[in-house]
Structure 1
Amino acid sequence: MEVTEAVRTGLLGHFGVDPASIDSASVTFLGLEPIEILRIVEGDVVHYATLGGSRHPMGDPTALHADPVRGARAELVLTMRSGVGASAGLAKSLGVLAAAPAVEGVVLQADALMDLGEPMWRNAPFTAVLLGGSDIPDVVLPEPAEPVRYFAVTPVTATEAAWVRVRGAQALRDAWREAGIDVRDPERGAASL
């Protein structure tokens, strides 16, 4: 089974949804296969999950030859209390983040801060994201390939991104918790830091 189809099966199985019941958008970058953004509604939240970023393993950008099989693989999931919509630019932003390993040689990992340089969606105060663990189980691939891991995406403001650079990801998460900030709320304000 192809990597992307194995990841799709694992993702839809995790949420227990019929493939016909989800919306998707596709983002294409020159020289890369398309990245799909699946929109999965679950109660009062919407999950936006990437599909296609894990086709190839992430590797050391300085390596002379990329290993086509071995290496970490990752996808991203953003969970919000209400939908923003693909037309607002969210699908493009998630596609850019998921394609970063292939385009820029970035290795996606927990606590990574990724700067978009522009609002994550139209009129959003968030211009960066913080990656963290996800409750989506790893998708196991045939040996010797490593499993595909999903990382949770949390949008952050420029001020919050600066906080992460100075104090670390956990300090920002602690500040959110102490202030009672729901990071899944697309209308939330920045933490008072």
Structure 2
Amino acid sequence: MEPLESLLQQVRACRLCEEHLPLGPRPVLRAATSARLLIVGQAPGTKVHASGKPWDDQSGKRLRQWLNMSEELFYDETQVAIIPMGFCYPGKGKSGDLPPRPECAQHWHQQLLALLPNIELTLLVGKYAQDHFLGSAAKGTLTETVAAWPDYLPRYMPLPHPSPRNQFWLRRNPWFEADAVPALQQLVSTLFHQPNV
């Protein structure tokens, strides 16, 4: 068995924070050593927990629109790795879902990323992913970090969360869909339509 396959089996059997998970553990992620795009979101919602398929909701639909990517390519793990900050549904908070459990990133991320040598672009979806991956290079707010997206290329592209709950943010920040989304689509198109693909 390949090292990544073996590690993914271990992750999917993970019970590290079982006592904190209202619906129990069901780690949702996918990856292959050949993947060139990495998507790091927050944590599965209830719909994704039920289906076991990442981004299988309205947020995923909008994210695929931003990427101008077919479902077929999006879910082709040989091309696209999907590794959220938290692998299981964390439960409900006062305003939406609770933050991703920290155990996943602490225990698993480094091991997983070490086995993804072909990643050329990482999408950091939401503030948890941005703070974790960018560290001190992240700005004070998500809006400032996303507005500074050219500064993080070619390695990272910070994005707001595509949740329907973020309609207000998108209305207040029209530059995102006017400037950042076309740039993102160009990056993705270049990544997956190179002659050697």
TM-score (normalised: structure 1): 0.30
Q: Which has the higher strand share?
A: 1
Q: Which has the higher helix share?
A: 2
Q: With CA pairs under 8 Å and 6+ residues apart, which has the higher RCO, 1 or 2?
A: 2
TM-score (normalised: structure 2): 0.30
